Amino acid sequence: MQEIASLRANPFFRQLRLLLFSPDRFFAERSTRPVDLKIPSLIVCGLFLVEIVGNYDTIIAYARTLELGDPSAHPIVYVGLAATALSPFLAWVSYSAVFHGVSYLYKGRGTFLRTLASVGYGCVPLIIGGLLYLVLFQFASLPVQDYFVPARVAAHATAVALVDAGVAIFVLLWCGFLWTAGMRHARSLSTRQALVTVFVPVGLTIGAKTVLLLWKLVSARVYTGVL
């Protein structure tokens, strides 16, 4: 039984290693096969579970609002819950649609389902980043006795913002590396065309996260009276 499990595990880890570190080879192997969304869907479901754990406090806050808040606010709360729960699936479809649309500028050839599969495979670093963030956040947690000390609250907020942005930017760049290879084979693009197709949207996302980081850092300094 152990030998059978080992044989099954070895191809899995080989494919995972190829995907994460040699994505061009990984997607080249899949470009000749029929499109199969099963594994990409499981990857996004894994990301969904990580997001649920990471947003546990937010979900609990929404649940308490439903119990104690004004019933007229319930639709807004439901929308918030749905957005939190469905964000991985929305991101998967949105990135796929944007990449597929941009690739039309280069007369890309290939179905949207193949684009969807490639983007789904490329979401694996998001799972790794989500787990890494959860681990790092445990080390950056603020002791209860410091909640009423403005300087320590601001320092904690700064640390969390830096960790959040650092992990997010690193993971997005890694995803971009995978998505570039995926789009090159999914839409029959050159490497340069695939880079533009992927990194224009990804670059805008990274820019937005950088602006958000700067806003959080300034807000922390304002809170402590430095600015």
- Please name the residues in contact with 158: beta carbons below 8 A apart, sequence gap of 6 or more: 216, 217, 220
Please state the rounded mean pLDDT for residues 108-129.
97
pLDDT at 148 over 50: yes
Alpha helices by DSSP H, 55-188: 56-68, 74-103, 112-121, 124-139, 150-186
- pTM of the full structure: 0.86
User: In Å, how far are 3, 187, 193 from 110, measured between CA atoms?
Assistant: 40, 5, 14
pLDDT at 71 over 90: no
* 164-220 pLDDT per residue, tens: 899 999 999 999 999 999 999 999 999 999 999 999 999 999 999 999 999 988 887
Domain count, the chain: 1
Domain that holds residue 214: 2-223
